[in-house]
Chains A and B, each alone.
Chain A
Amino acid sequence: EVQLLESGGGFVQPGGSLRLSCAASGISFSTFAMHWVRQAPGKGLEWVSALSDSGDATYYSDSVRGRFTISRDNSKNTLFLHLNNLRVEDTAVYYCARDRLTASFDYWGQGTLVTVSS
């Protein structure tokens, strides 16, 4: 079965940290760029970050640059997002998605909820 499975979400106070994981199975992973996309409650999709297939090129939205770090372990078919210095406005469902080649996302995970609140 084709699957991207996110984990690691949870409740954290402002200024805290989390590490999200996205495990791929049933699909090719190591030869594709991967992205994180988030969706705040009741809001639209917001692109967060991308990582090249080899892991040597990273991209971030202005809202998370300097606080979030994207990485991958191709030997374990897993994508990560390290979230530091979290803010209330980072509260969202975080999705991982595979980039089929042209910044179009053909596979998505089910999402993991991050809640930042005091």
Chain B
Amino acid sequence: QSILTQPPSVSAAPGQKVTISCSGSSSNIGNNYVSWYQQLPGTAPKLLIYDNNQRPSGIPDRFSGSKSDTSATLGITGLQTGDEADYYCASWDSGLAIALFGGGTKLTVL
């Protein structure tokens, strides 16, 4: 069981909005940055959001990130079938001195 908790799955219709939550503690999300990754089937993960809410160059603004206390949220608007993938949050844990990934959330675009 992961220290960072994500819902196993979410779903929404094309064009709609979805949010994915990531819950941690004061030793990780509460005092460190959160990043988010998209992993399409059979491919390496791709950075979507870093430093809680920053998008790397080339990531569309349909993807957004936020953080509050010990939880973070990834938002995706204007859903497309190509967004179907697994999504992971990550953060450093200062107490354990390790990086953590959430268990992953499978997004289905109905």
Contact = CB atoms under 8 A, between A and B. Distances in A.
B32 A103 contact: yes
A44 B2 contact: yes
Q: Is the interface of A mostly helix, strand, loop or mixed?
A: strand
Q: Is the interface of B mostly helix, strand, loop or mixed?
A: strand
A35 to B, nearest CB: 7
Interface residues of A, number: 23
Interface in A37-69: 37, 44-47, 50, 59-62
B50 A47 contact: no
A45 B51 contact: no
B44 A104 contact: no
Interface in B56-110: 56, 86, 88, 90-92, 97-104
A106 B50 contact: yes
A108 interface: yes
Interface in B36-61: 37, 39, 44-47, 50-51, 56
Nearest to A57: B97
B23 interface: no
A75 interface: no
Contact of B104 (A37, A45, A102): A45
Given A45-B104, A47-B99, A103 B2 contact: no
